[in-house]
Structure 1
């Protein structure tokens, strides 16, 4: 990765090539959403997948707007082809998580494009996503999920308690289940993105300054 002083150009650059690239990465993200796995300490409706990997790669290559576009493509395609079992709440929560991850990471990396800055950007994205997703789930998505599916919040909490004894209410569900899950999910994604980024740029022969 090589340093440069072009953050404004980086944020504005969104050519047709970039549009196609980020759309393609968003489509790959939609495919990866299908390959989901249960985690041992969260409710069964919370699954682990690597769908954020192509999204954050696109955001770092092109900019935060491109990353947000890739996230929207990912969620929209998944919704169109696989439908929803959560009345759309899960899809909105997934989009929220993607934006909370890719936008801070891409903005940070756009300021100074070095290998060290890349690691810091991905760490920042992981921390932002992990914390903001918890807030979104606590105040919006979990209450909406329970309301729209006709469930009592106690039922949702019970799902968490069944796999994690530390979960006794909505607050402990967030702190002892969702927060560590998010740190693990986005931490693994960030590690893979850090390893793959430069190789992917070379493979795609992406134009612009070398990172």
Structure 2
């Protein structure tokens, strides 16, 4: 594994701190639902874009670890695992499509959001629901009616924000 320079570690730390701060400002799209949107994935996307997938992975891991240890109220790690999975899955197309100049921002957004939403449905069915102890008899109905649209909305918000920031990143890269 390539050794991380001090400069890279400082950038990862700063983006992790930003991500943790953004995690505090979460809001519910669907009232009464446990599903919340936060902007903590924007620094993950920035870190991955500037420094590669390892940096994005580390930022996502650290922000969820800090959130679990400080902010999380229920003591169940299922939400953090789901958020971590969402972060990494949203980040990967951004990093790997970055090198392909044929992809436009709109295509990148669609590929990322649809891909992460579909994969998160499967992840939620097999990991999150069992960890929360939820009844799985009608899980696919709930996932398709609530979670899939939620993940599409959340992913779209995050990707639009990232696309607005991306031109600035090209200048500082």
Taking structure 1 as the reference length, what is the TM-score of the superposition? 0.72
Per-residue CA deviation, residues 51-94 of structure 1 (Å, 9 max, x unaligned), is: 11111111112211111111112111212222441521111111
- Kindly report the root-mean-square deviation, in angstroms, between the aligned alpha carbons of the 2 structures: 2.5
Equivalent residue, structure 1, for 2:141: 172
Deviation at 1:15, TM superposition (A): 3.9
CA distance 1:25–1:122, change in 2 (3 Å): farther
CA distance 1:49–1:55, change in 2 (3 Å): same
CA distance 1:83–1:176, change in 2 (3 Å): closer
Q: Which runs of 5+ in 2 are unaligned?
A: none
CA distance 1:13–1:185, change in 2 (3 Å): farther
Deviation at 1:13, TM superposition (A): 9.7
Equivalent residue, structure 1, for 2:86: 97
SS at match of 1:153: coil
Equivalent residue, structure 1, for 2:69: 80
Native 8 Å contact 1:32 1:51 kept in 2: yes
Higher relative contact order (CA 8 A, sep 6+): 1
Matches within 5 A, 1:87-126: 87-109=76-98, 111-112=99-100, 116-126=103-113
Native 8 Å contact 2:78 2:127 kept in 1: no
Q: Which runs of 5+ in 1 are unaligned?
A: 1-11, 147-151, 158-168, 207-211
Q: Aligned equivalents of 2:105 and 2:52: distance in 1?
A: 13
Equivalent residue, structure 1, for 2:135: 153
From the CA coordinates, give the structure whose radius of gyration is larger. 1
Residue 170 of structure 2 corresponds to residue 182 of structure 1: no
Q: Aligned equivalents of 2:28 and 2:3: distance in 1?
A: 38
Equivalent residue, structure 2, for 1:199: 168
Native 8 Å contact 1:26 1:72 kept in 2: no
Native 8 Å contact 1:63 1:107 kept in 2: no
Native 8 Å contact 2:117 2:148 kept in 1: yes
Equivalent residue, structure 1, for 2:13: 23
Equivalent residue, structure 2, for 1:142: 129
Taking structure 2 as the reference length, what is the TM-score of the superposition? 0.86
Residue 30 of structure 2 corresponds to residue 40 of structure 1: yes
Equivalent residue, structure 2, for 1:61: 50
Q: Aligned equivalents of 2:109 and 2:43: distance in 1?
A: 13
